[in-house]
Each structure stands twice: as C-alpha cells, then as structure tokens.
Structure 1
Amino acid sequence: MSAATTSTAPVEQPKAQLYSFPGSVWASSPRLALIEKGYSPSDVEIRTVDLLKGENFAPSYLRLNSKATLPTLVVPLASTISGEVDTKYRAITTSDEVLRFLDQSRSAQSLEAKGEAGGKSNPAPMLSPATIDDKAAGDALVALVAGPSADPNFLLLAARTSAELAKQQQGFQATFCKNRYEAIQKYRSEISTTITSTENPRTQQQSAALIKWYDDKLAEISLLTEVYVNDDATAKTKLIEAGVATWKGVGAALTQIEAGLKGPFLLGGQVSLADLQVGVWLARVLSVAQGLYPGESDAVSALSQALSWEGLGEGATTVGPKIGAYWKLLMERPSFQEVYKDGLH
C-alpha cells in the first residue's frame, strides 16, 4: 500500500467581497477608494447586486445586510484564515465603515510589513483626515449630503412638476419602483410559504420577523409605490411637493459645501474620504440635472439651471465657483474617470 501524500500547494487565501451596483450612489465611493488606494483587481472581489431587479431584498442578501442597502463589504477574519479552519466573515454595511476599512487595510506600513514597495507604482495614500479638526469638518460636509433633506436617491425618483412626473412614469423611475415593489412581494410570499410548511419553531420565528421586515419596507416606500404602481393622484401631488423640497435641500447643501470647501479638495490639498462621499453625491445631483436640462453644454450648467428654477422660490440658488472648480478637479482623477466612464449616475 502506498503511503498517503500531503499536498504542499499553498492554500488560496479568501478575499474580501464588495457587493455593489454600477448605478448606485453610495456603492460608487468604495469603488473610487479601491483605485485611490492602489488595490489591484485581485485584492477584492466585486459582486453585483442588481437593484433594478430588487436583488437587494433577497433573504440571502438580507442575511449580509439587514438594511438591504449598498455597499456591503464582506471580509474574512484573519484569525480563521487557514487550511484547517473554516473561514469566518464579517459584513461591513455602511459607506463610512467600508471606506475606513479600505483606507486602513492598505497603508505604507502594511505594504512594508508584506515586503511590497510603495511609490507611484504601488500607492497607498491615507485618505482619512490627519487632524481632529479636519475629521470634524469632513464629517460635517458628509452629513450634509447623507441626510434626508438632500437624499440623492429620492432626488432621482421625485419630480418638480406634473409634466416631469408624467415623463418619469414612462421611464426608468417607474421601472425601478415597479420592480422593487414586485420583488419585495415575491420574497414575502416565498417566506410566508415556509411558515406553513415547517414545524420548526426557530424557522417560523425567523420567517415571521422577515415578513414583518418586508411589510415595514412596503410601508416605507408606499408614496413611490402609489405614484409609480397605482398612479394615485393624491400621492403624485405629495411626491411633487417632496421633490421641490428636496431640490431646495440640495441647494442649501451646496451653499454650505461652497462655504466650507477649503480647496482645491474639501479639506485642502489632498483628496480625502470626505471627497469620495461628497463626490458621488454631487455626481448623482449633476446627473439628475442633466436629465432635466439636456440642452445645457455641461453638467454644472445644467445644475445651475435646476438650482435657479423659479419654482424653488426663496430656495433658488446657483452653483458656486469653488464647487465648479472642485468638480472639474475630481473628474480629472483616474478614479472618477473609471467609475463614471459610462456617464454620471
């Protein structure tokens, strides 16, 4: 009998997985960070969650991210990476936390520890603010664009006038909202079946909790569902009012960003994590403005038109010169050119 042989082939190390979608606002910031930090394509596996099909509401994805949002970064726990122990993972489910993890995981110190050279061919710039004051300033600017008053996702789905809404009811917005509604109903129905088909108390309890989650989500998106699925007149009026209010919120946020922008980047001479978050928000706002004013020569001009629309009343404003220069500078960076190579979103 021949002796048993033991393979000496190296165990393939598990890698982090970034759940993303090309048209997602907040999932774009980690993609920018991967490029800014110098990660190679083999360092992080990017998995697509199709928001247009409502895949983020699948129970399998909700087990990773109970908010059903993007991005999600799933990272292996270092202490379990070996051939003898099953790898365990943890999921990071907010843009802030994902960006911080990516920033801290690749640094000059970590490259040196692995014997990898730094420099232009293998960059690892720190994107986190260097001082407490800069961190506070960056957090304040990000808070302006991450809150509900200037929500970039709602901005895409809302409208300012009946004419705009009628056009959107025949376009992407209607398709997105209908698909989302149908996906939630589908997954809810599937989970409901498991309650009646199993006697396992734990499974029944988990299924009941998931059904409640779906019901709460349906209530949360009810305004958009009433508009784009049921064509409800009262809901349409409310959506238009909310759309105008959101554009006012965008104008107010841009005014504060203009005042707080140190230049050339938000916090001074180097790009920071705050730029990657405010930058993706600005890209969405510019994209929506381009859709409203397709005849304008560039996105910033279209945004100026949107901000000065007479329907905003005292909330009307314009794009400040610092923001105009800031956007131009961002779009000169390879990271922004790559992420937005197919257009703003």
Structure 2
Amino acid sequence: MAQEKFILYSFVGSQWANVAHLGLAEKGFKSDDYEVKEVDLVKAENFNHEYLKINPNGTIPSLTSPSLERPLIESTDILRFLDETRGTSLVPSDPKAKEVAQKIIDLVHSNDLTTNLILLQAHDHEEMNAKRSSMWNDFVRARQAKLEEGKTAHPNHPFYGPKSEENGALYRLYTSASEDELQRFYETTHDMYRKFATGLDKLDTLLVLPYAVGDQVTEADFHIVPWLSHALWGAGTEPSDVQNFGTLEALIQKTMPGFEVKPRIKEWWSNISKTRAFKEVYPQLH
C-alpha cells in the first residue's frame, strides 16, 4: 500500500517556508512524495479560521502527516522531520558544531534580525511614501481586514484580538499617522537597523566555513539562506544578482554610515550558492 503523503503548507513569498523546500531538495524528495498547499500571505490566508486550526500562530510553514500526532508549525521542527526520513543527517554529530549551529539558527530567527524591518519599516518620509505606494501597503491593509473580519466572526478566539491590535498599530502608521507618530516610527527603525547590523556582525563571527559550521552543509545553512535571501530581496536587490550585497549595505548605511557585510558572510554565501539545493530553490532571490 502506498505511503500517505505529508502536506506542506507553504507560500512562494514566505521566507521560512523555504527552509522546508531546501530540505526537500537536499534530501531528494520527489514532487509525488508530498503535497504542497499554498497559503497566500498577501491575501492574509494564514489568518483564515480553518488554517488557525492547523497552526494557531497563523504562520507559514506548517506540516501535517499521518505519522504525526499534531501538525508541525516551526520551520526548525519541519526541517528535522524531513531530515530524519533519509540520508545523512543535517544535524551536526559533533557537540561543538551542534552548539554553534543552534546559535546560528537562534540568531537568524531572533527579533534583532527580523526581515520585517526591511520590508515594512522606514527611515524617513521618503521611504514611508515609497512603502505606502508599494505592495507592502496592500499587504498591511489585507492583513488588517482579515483580522477584523476574523475578530467579528470569532470574538472569543484568542488569536484575532491581540493580533488585530498588533497589526493595527502598523496599519495606522501606513494610513493615518500623525507627524509625531511617524518621527517615533523612524527613530524605532534606526534602533532596529543598529541591532540588525550588530546581528550581522555576530553571524560573521559564528560562521566556521566553508559552510556554516564546517565542511558539511547542515541545518544551520538552510536557516541562514532564506533569511539572507529575503533580506537582500527586500532591500531592493535585483533578484538575479544573487551575489550583490551593495543594496542591503546602502540601506543599513542610512543608520550606520560605512557599514559593510563582513567577508566571512560573503564567502559563506558564495559557497552555499553553489550547492544543488540552493540552485533548485533559489534560482533568484525571493
């Protein structure tokens, strides 16, 4: 009897969903081994009541399988689930390398290195006006509309109230903020870019090379790749210009003049971009 497929809930524009896609590529899964269900983040489908039954955090990715008691809703757990099914493990066997890998994973998933900074924040009026005229304005508005709809339909649901307040603060900045509110927003953006720059420098010190923790590709590599690709793309880098860090550096330099991405990160990126899984999932930045 054929083995039942697992289902990956994904979206082409989701940075963390691509942790799973890199794992699928690395482990040699075929398209008929699993099913992908697209959850459109631009339309805020991740906030649909039915999807929240799968992932109560309303995030992407998620994975369900007949072999699992409950859905997996974190990219780290999903990659490890895929990893355990076949081939050489992506989790380092050496305790020291395993510790470094976990530090790297924790760092790129931390608030200090959130790519929402690049996608949704603004340094000044010029950037804010550009955001308001871009897809991000539609994104913020669609999220708020879906959250308000969910709050009305399901007033006792624990997700919709807090999330609508959280997103509502950003929605108001995009639609009706006062000058004072915008100036505070810009100050927060500068603070966040300082932390982002510090986080990049910390990542540089953690990398062992040629890959994240040494000679073998590990789970750490497959968490850095989607995060860094999304940061480069979000900064405005031409998607086909995979090795160009200049646009991201210029954006950070608005807060940190003279900032440059350190050489070890660039060397690691050059190395990992030559791997089969990278080429399959990232023919261009996204």
Q: Return the TM-score normalized by structure 1.
A: 0.77
Q: Which has the higher contact order (CA 8 A, sep 6+)?
A: 2
CA distance in 2, matches of 1:136, 1:299: 30
Partner residue in 2 for 1:226: 172
Structure 1 residue corresponding to 2:247, chosen from 296, 302, 306: 302
Instruction: Spell out the pairing of 1:54-65 with structure 2 (5 A cutoff).
Output: 54-65=44-55
Corresponding residue SS for 1:263 = coil
* Pairwise CA distance, 1:289: 2.7
1:53 match: secondary structure: coil
Is residue 2:93 matched to residue 1:138? Answer: no
Counterpart CA distance in 1 for 2:242 and 2:212 is: 26
CA contact (8 A) 1:77 1:90 kept: no
SS in 2 for 1:277: helix
Q: How much has 1:231 moved relative to structure 2?
A: 4.1
User: Contact between 1:151 and 1:246, CA under 8 Å: does it hold in 2?
Assistant: no
Superposition deviation, residue 230 in structure 1: 3.0
State the AA in 1 paired with 2:122: A
Deviation at 1:236, TM superposition (A): 2.5
| Deviation at residue 310 of structure 1 after TM alignment | 4.7
Alignment of 1:1-345 (within 5 A): 10=1, 12-77=2-67, 90-106=70-86, 124-192=87-155, 208=156, 210=157, 212-290=158-236, 299-307=244-252, 309-312=253-256, 317-341=259-283, 343-345=284-286
Q: CA deviation at 1:238?
A: 3.0
Stretch of structure 1 that moved more, 328-337 or 92-101? 328-337
Instruction: Determine helix, strand or coil for the equivalent of 1:325.
Output: helix
Structure-2 separation of matches of 1:244 and 1:104? 41
TM-score, length of structure 2 as denominator length: 0.92
- For 1:27 and 1:235, the matched residues in 2 are separated by 33
Structure 1 residue 74 displacement after superposition: 0.6
Contact 2:194 2:255 in 1 (8 A): no
Q: 1:227·1:233 contact (CA, 8 Å) conserved in 2?
A: no
Deviations 1:101-149 (A, max 9, x none): 111122xxxxxxxxxxxxxxxxx23211112211111111122221112
Q: Which runs of 5+ in 1 are unaligned?
A: 1-9, 79-88, 107-123, 193-207
**CA positional deviation for 1:159:** 1.4
Rg larger for: 1
CA distance in 2, matches of 1:232, 1:340: 40
Aligned alpha-carbon RMSD (Å): 2.2
**Aligned residue type for 2:228:** L
Q: 1:235 to 1:215 in 2, by over 3 A?
A: farther
State, as a whole percentage, how many aligned pairs show the same letter: 28
**In 2, Cα distance between equivalents of 1:253 and 1:139:** 15
Q: Is the 8 A contact 1:223 1:235 kept in 2?
A: no
CA distance in 2, matches of 1:297, 1:93: 29
